[in-house]
Chain A
């Protein structure tokens, strides 16, 4: 396989949520979520009920992928920050540690400057957590711990999904 599987454990999930909840408060944001580059939602905090987070995740990843393609065409590695300004709500999208996407939705109770400042700090913390997560997953794979939940899956389990 070209890429290792992305795995999330309880411990890191809590740490990640702690960081983005803090960012939500400090940046006066409405919603914050983390998405992997393939469009899968990792976590979200704030007024997540008001938004279709699955669609947001997929479109954000598409957006990052498309702008990444544009960057390569003009000889840049990637554009690490995107900002979309709306009438009421704004979207601040940034790439964290080269592998995940941090999305901050905010309105006029905050400002782009504040969001950028706080995102920068939170990104450093998140990068550290994701680095540890990758190392942990690699170690588990090396030690061959058979904890994979699907190892005992049967054909019946699969068929039941479609019944």
Chain B
């Protein structure tokens, strides 16, 4: 649910990065944070455990610029990926405008990817959203690691509806901005339609 403020001429949108534990959601945000000009970003907040696992969420506000005289802001959130944090994940999906599903390309994480994707669909439904009608992109992360599945195999399992998908290596930044740009674009196109 984007927030349009005619008084201050701003549009705020919320993007949520979803995916199994350790797939690289926080790393995506960290890279965006590192590579964004200081004036375009706010503080990045990570609510994490002592071992740097996400406990509640990471948050990064981005002010990308103006469209038609409206300041366009994107608020990037990640969810905690570990299975037992499901209650927290549901909360973060509230009011979402667009979703990035970050998949771990390693073969042994395929089950975790599938479980997380089912969980995303289920949690969205509980909030009254339909993943197939939401701006949504998929990122196949960790392409640099040995023993990864081919993109075709990943696509078959994780992207049957053929939404925009990207190969990435979030640690080096490859594919990170392409993914963000794609979901932001889908959100803006969705806004254009006026829903």
Distance between B189 CB and nearest chain A CB, rounded to angstroms: 8
- Provided the pairs A55-B45, A69-B91 are in contact, do residues A157 and B6 lie with their beta carbons within 8 angstroms? no
Task: Give A5 to B13 CA distance when docked, in angstroms.
Answer: 11
Complex interface: chain B residues within 8 A of A5 (CB):
1-4, 195
Structural contact, A55 and B91, CB atoms closer than 8 A: no
Task: Give A98 to B151 CA distance when docked, in angstroms.
Answer: 45
User: With an 8 A cutoff between CB atoms, is B67 at the interface?
Assistant: yes
Structural contact, B70 and A149, CB atoms closer than 8 A: yes
Structural contact, A150 and B68, CB atoms closer than 8 A: yes
- Provided the pairs A8-B4, A157-B67 are in contact, do residues A2 and B128 lie with their beta carbons within 8 angstroms? yes
Task: Give A145 to B6 CA distance when docked, in angstroms.
Answer: 15
User: With an 8 A cutoff between CB atoms, is B48 at the interface?
Assistant: no
B-side interface residues, number (CB < 8 Å)? 47
Structural contact, A7 and B6, CB atoms closer than 8 A: yes
User: With an 8 A cutoff between CB atoms, is A52 at the interface?
Assistant: yes
Judged by DSSP, the binding face of B is mixed
Distance between B187 CB and nearest chain A CB, rounded to angstroms: 10
Beyond the given pairs A150-B11, A150-B194, A151-B194, 15 more chain A to chain B contacts, judged by CB atoms under 8 angstroms and listed by A's residue number, are A5-B195, A6-B4, A8-B3, A8-B4, A8-B7, A9-B7, A37-B94, A37-B95, A39-B75, A42-B5, A54-B43, A58-B61, A62-B56, A69-B91, A161-B67
User: Can you give 19 contacting A-B residue pairs, CB < 8 Å?
Assistant: A1-B1, A1-B195, A2-B129, A5-B1, A6-B4, A8-B4, A8-B5, A8-B8, A37-B95, A38-B3, A38-B94, A40-B3, A52-B43, A65-B94, A69-B88, A150-B70, A158-B184, A158-B188, A161-B72
